[in-house]
Amino acid sequence: MVKKVKSCVFISGNGTNLYSIIKSSRDYSFPIKIELIISNNNNNQKIFEKKCLIELKKREIGFLCLAGFMKILSNNFIKTFGYKIINIHPSLLPKFKGLNTHKRVLIKKEKYTGCTVHYVSSKLDSGNIIMQKKILIKKNETLKSLKKKVLVHEHKLYPEAIRCVFK
Ligand code: GRF
């Protein structure tokens, strides 16, 4: 039996990536166990981060996954947590960092898009890449179809990348 690392997932949206991580974590060989889920409904960043750090410490959390988390964590938070923090972004990073990714990809008439799991650094969507999936964009692709298609790949990629981190 593997000793699973106590982990926390940060979300802001629908939580479908969270769901896929939880599903994978039920496997005995999966390296992490989700002990805590945090969503950001607190407007004050400083207070939010302070409260988070207290909870993370209390529950001995050693790993953090951001899954559609819409706030940028401060340098101080990243440093104070001190352990690994990873994030998923729906593009082929370093291309298309930031918001409205799919829309910008379509406007630019890209042939491929993708999704990327990467370490979190103090710069937005810029930490070292752990795993990446390249996805073909169809000629008649819409914003809705692209978002849906990429998300399906995200749900596979995120658990794979978590396994990769602990190999
Ligand atoms: C995903 O596309 C993720 O890459 C992006 O926000 C979306 C979140 O989806 N950062 P969900 O909340 O996991 O369903």
- Report pLDDT digits (tens) over 93-152: 999 999 999 999 999 999 999 999 999 998 899 999 999 999 999 999 999 999 999 999
- The average confidence (pLDDT) of the chain is 96
Q: Which two tokens stand for residue 6?
A: 């106590």
Q: How confident is the model at residue 1 (pLDDT cuts 50, 70, 90)?
A: low
Separation CA 135–CA 146 (nearest Å): 10
Q: What is the pLDDT of residue 95?
A: 98
Going across the sheet that includes 129-136, the strands are 32-39, 5-11, 63-67, 84-89, 112-119, 129-136
- Output the residue whose Cα is nearest ligand 1's atom 5: 68
pLDDT at residue 15 greater than cutoff 70 = yes
pLDDT at residue 3 greater than cutoff 90 = yes
Q: How far is the CA of 1 from the centre of ligand 1 (A)?
A: 31
pLDDT at residue 2 greater than cutoff 80 = no
Q: How far is the CA of 68 from the centre of ligand 1 (A)?
A: 4
Q: What is the pLDDT of residue 42?
A: 82
Is residue 91 a contact partner of residue 146, using CB atoms and an 8 Å limit? no
Q: Which of 89, 102, 118, 155 is catalytic?
A: 89
Catalytic annotation present for 102: no
Which pairing describes strands 112-119 and 129-136: parallel, antiparallel, or unpaired? antiparallel
Nearest in space to 66 (alpha carbons), one of 120, 142, 136, 2: 120
Whole-structure pTM value: 0.96
Q: How confident is the model at residue 48 (pLDDT cuts 50, 70, 90)?
A: very high
Instruction: Work out the average pLDDT over 18-45.
Output: 95
Residue carrying structure tokens 């993370």 = 56
